[in-house]
């Protein structure tokens, strides 16, 4: 179907075997179970943090803070919502905290958010990936930088909704729960984000 | 539905985030309206473009994050053994089933540190209790001698719990803590003893106990706690030698990570050889990356690997 790409992401997110069993084991002190829970989600968490904050150092802090919060509070988790809703709620709050703190320290935000900084990060990541044909690489690099720049023009909330829906494949209902808002509000947010992105990326289409 | 309404709904239609009824209405409009089909095609092109974003996670960053988290959790668990997380091995389960104490020769009492709540008094010693020996922690029958009158003399070694309190300056307390680090079979108690001792690592005897613990303790939580105590002695030759050994031989990556961090806090040429060995033997990419950076910073060759 049309939405095949995001559905695949969804499937890998849902894949971790008996998640409830893992959570219960981790709650009773099984460290391996906790580590498996972390590994089921940590790439997604790191990706969100990277794309939201555009800074490896801050992404690293978000990763650490978020999973420690989960670790410290896991025993209080009562299955009132799904585990991933709780996890992404924690991650979202930690990310927003970082963005707020950054606003206070203005000088940081200019360092992180300059166009040059972005290009640098993309170049770094590129070196890790497999070597493909150079023209394609240049195009991908420009596109990734373009998408990143377009994302930076969204509000943090729009950016988060867009990341979670488009790139992590979460449903709007879950995103609403994560952000503590209604599905309808999340939908409006996604709608605005999509419109802005499309206008901004018109040149690439 | 008119075109404007359809166009507005297209993005959510793409995400499958509209009701089945709305979906049907859009699809019936699309079959009749060329302009909206074109708009849908443009939207799809835009989505395909977004999906081409190619920003894989930097694997080094991921490994670093995982190592940081593991280290932090082990450290937290080590400082709070009550939580029941068995990063320390089964810390709690032990008190109920295991032979609890190996008493060091010459020790006058056992340090009963807070949470060792359960005491060991198996039913088979009930008879001993009624004979007036109160709540033995651990008893051991040494000899049994029946005599002609039908009496039996049994020699029993026993251990009683006593709470000893005092400051660290009290040599008795210090000795008990040191023997708890070495002899106590409960890792939770070893961790707590080290937590008290580690602030006095300027004493040679304490530092040696920490070195022994980091080198030989079977429990990674205990080794980490000891490492913490050795942090400020990163320039001491004996400490460095022990840490180099830990870095190369410890089977726990969290402990190795901590060891390389402490070892390199005080950088000198003597660790070049160790770091080159690390580059050859280490599997953990965070530790390898650190070793490589340090070698480069010291302008030493990274070695053959
Ligand atoms: Zn139309």
Domain containing A55 — which CATH number?
A: 1.10.1740.10
Q: Which of B53, B64, B85 faces A31 most closely, judged by CB atoms?
A: B85
CA of B8 to the centre of ligand 1 (A): 11
Q: Which one is predicted more confidently, A38 or B160?
A: A38
User: Which of B58, B80, B87 would you mutate first to test chain A, the one with the most A CBs within 10 A?
Assistant: B58
Q: Quick one: B138 exposed, middle or buried, by C-beta within 10 A (0-12, 13-18, 19+)?
A: buried
Q: What is the DSSP letter of B304?
A: -
What contacts B276, CB < 8 A, 6 or more positions away? Answer: B295, B300, B301, B302, B303
Looking at the predicted structure, is the pLDDT value of residue A185 above 80? yes
Q: Choose the closest CB to A60 out of B59, B64, B84.
A: B64
Q: What would the mean pLDDT of A37-63 be, rounded to a whole number? A: 93
β B138-146/B152-159 pair status: antiparallel
CA-based nearest distance A107→chain B, Å? 24
- What is the B17 CA–ligand 1 centroid distance (Å)? 20
* Residue A32 pLDDT grade (very low, low, confident, very high; cuts 50, 70, 90): confident
**Residue A136 is assigned to a structural domain of this protein:** no
Is A49 contained in some domain?
A: yes
Q: Is B41 within 8 Å of B14 (Cβ atoms)?
A: no
pLDDT in tens, A103-134: 776 544 443 443 333 333 333 333 333 445 67
Give the total number of structural domains in chain A: 1
Q: Is residue A90 part of a domain?
A: yes
Model-level pTM? 0.51
Interface touch B61/A59, C-beta < 8 Å: yes
Q: Tell me which residues of chain B have a C-beta less than 8 Å from any C-beta of chain A.
A: 11-12, 14-17, 42-46, 49-62, 64-66, 68-70, 72-73, 76, 83-87
Contacts with B84 (C-beta within 8 Å, 6 or more apart), sequence order: A28, A29, B91, B92
Q: Which two tokens stand for residue A15?
A: 């894949």
Chain A residue numbers with beta carbons less than 8 Å from the beta carbon of B50 are 147, 166, 197, 201
Q: How far is the CA of B14 from the centre of ligand 1 (A)?
A: 16
Both tokens of residue B291? 């070793």
Contacts of B15 in chain A (CB under 8 A): 3, 6, 165-166, 172, 190
Q: How far is the CA of B23 from the centre of ligand 1 (A)?
A: 14
From the CA of B20, how far away is ligand 1's center (Å)? 19
ipTM for the complex shown: 0.77
Cα(B6) to ligand 1 centroid in Å equals: 7
Q: Which CATH class is domain B171-297?
A: mainly alpha
Asked whether the beta carbons of B207 and B230 are under 8 A apart, the reply is yes
More confidently predicted of B132 and A170: A170
Q: Are B161 and B117 in contact (CB under 8 A)?
A: no
Average pLDDT along chain A: 79
Contact B12 A191 (CB under 8 A): yes
Residue A133 lies in a domain: no
Q: What is the mean pLDDT of each run of 10 residues along chain B (305 residues)?
A: 93 92 94 94 91 82 88 79 48 30 32 29 30 42 73 68 75 83 76 85 88 88 90 88 88 86 79 83 82 82 62
Question: Taking the domains of chain B in order of start, what are their residue ranges?
Answer: 3-124, 135-160, 171-297
Q: What is the pLDDT of residues A18-27, one digit of tens each?
A: 788 899 999 9
Q: How far is CA B37 from CA A87, A195, B3, B26, B30, in A?
A: 39, 18, 10, 10, 6
What's the pLDDT at B140?
Answer: 57
pLDDT at position A108 is 42
b/e burial code for range B60-92 (CB count within 10 A of at least 16 → b): ebbbbbbbbbbbebbbebbeebebbbbbbeebb
CA distance B178 to chain A (A): 29
Full domain range(s) for residue A44 = 16-105
Domain-located, residue A183: no
**CA separation for the pair A67, A45 (Å, rounded):** 9
A40 falls within a domain: yes
CA distance B93 to chain A (A): 12
Chain A residues with beta carbon closer than 8 angstroms to that of B66: 38-39, 42
In a domain, A202, yes or no: no
Chain B interface mutation, best of A33, A198, A200, A201, highest count of B Cβ atoms under 10 Å: A198
Question: Is the predicted pLDDT of residue A204 greater than 50, yes or no?
Answer: yes
Residue A187 pLDDT exceeds 90:
yes
Rounded to 5 degrees, φ, ψ at A38 are: -55, -45
Question: Which residue would you say has higher pLDDT here, A128 or A98?
Answer: A98
Average pLDDT for residues A163-181, to the nearest whole number? 92
Candidates B9, B53, B59, B89: best to mutate against A (most CBs of A within 10 A) is B53
Chain pair A-B, CB pairs under 8 angstroms: 111
Choose from A122, A123, A194 for mutation: most chain B CBs within 10 A.
A194
Q: In this structure, are residues A68 and B72 in contact, taking their beta carbons and an 8 Å threshold?
A: yes
Q: How far is the CA of B40 from the centre of ligand 1 (A)?
A: 10
Let me know if residue A119 belongs to a domain: no
Query: Could you tell me which chain A residue has the CA closest to the CA of B16?
Result: A3
């Amino acid at each position: 179907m049309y939405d095949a790409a995001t559905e695949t992401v969804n499937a890998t997110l849902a894949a971790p075997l008996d998640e409830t069993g893992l959570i219960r084991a981790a709650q009773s002190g099984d460290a391996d179970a906790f580590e498996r829970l972390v590994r089921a989600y940590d790439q997604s968490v790191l990706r969100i943090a990277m794309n939201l904050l555009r800074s490896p150092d801050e992404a690293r802090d978000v990763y650490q803070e978020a999973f420690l919060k989960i670790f410290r509070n896991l025993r209080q988790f009562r299955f009132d919502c799904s585990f991933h809703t709780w996890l992404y709620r924690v991650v979202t709050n930690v990310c927003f905290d970082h963005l707020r703190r950054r606003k206070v320290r203005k000088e940081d935000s200019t360092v992180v958010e300059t166009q040059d900084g972005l290009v640098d990060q993309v170049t770094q990541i590129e070196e890790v990936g497999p070597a493909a044909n150079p023209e394609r690489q240049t195009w991908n690099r420009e596109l990734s930088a373009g998408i990143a720049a377009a994302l930076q023009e969204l509000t943090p909330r729009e950016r988060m909704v867009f990341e979670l829906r488009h790139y992590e494949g979460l449903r709007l209902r879950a995103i609403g729960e994560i952000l503590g808002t209604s599905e309808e509000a999340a939908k409006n947010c996604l709608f605005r984000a999509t419109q802005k992105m499309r206008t901004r990326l018109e040149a690439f289409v | 539905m008119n075109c404007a309404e359809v166009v507005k709904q297209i993005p959510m239609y793409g995400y499958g985030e509209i009701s089945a009824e709305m979906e049907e209405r859009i699809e019936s409009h699309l079959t009749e309206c060329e302009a909206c089909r074109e708009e849908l095609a443009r939207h799809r092109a835009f989505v395909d473009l977004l999906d081409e974003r190619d920003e894989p996670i930097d694997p080094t960053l991921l490994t670093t994050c995982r190592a940081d988290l593991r280290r932090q959790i082990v450290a937290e668990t080590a400082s709070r053994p009550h939580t029941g997380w068995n990063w320390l091995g089964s810390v709690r389960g032990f008190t109920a089933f295991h032979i609890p104490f190996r008493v060091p020769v010459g020790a006058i009492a056992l340090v009963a540190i807070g949470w060792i709540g359960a005491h060991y008094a198996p039913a088979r010693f009930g008879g001993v209790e009624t004979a007036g020996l109160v709540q033995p922690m651990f008893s051991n029958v040494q000899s049994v001698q029946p005599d002609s009158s039908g009496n039996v003399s049994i020699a029993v070694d026993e251990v009683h719990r006593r709470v000893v309190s005092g400051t660290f300056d009290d040599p008795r307390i210090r000795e008990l803590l040191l023997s708890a680090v070495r002899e106590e079979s409960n890792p939770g108690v070893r961790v707590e003893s080290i937590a008290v001792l580690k602030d006095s690592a300027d004493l040679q005897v304490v530092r040696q106990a920490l070195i022994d613990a980091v080198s030989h303790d079977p429990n990674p939580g205990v080794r980490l706690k000891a490492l913490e105590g050795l942090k400020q002695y990163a320039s001491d030759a004996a400490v460095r030698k022990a840490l180099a050994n830990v870095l190369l031989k410890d089977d726990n990556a969290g402990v190795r990570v901590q060891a390389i961090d402490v070892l390199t806090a005080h950088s000198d040429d003597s660790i070049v050889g160790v770091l080159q060995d690390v580059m050859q033997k280490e599997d953990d990419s965070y530790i390898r990356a650190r070793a490589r950076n340090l070698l480069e910073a010291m302008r030493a060759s990274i070695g053959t690997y």
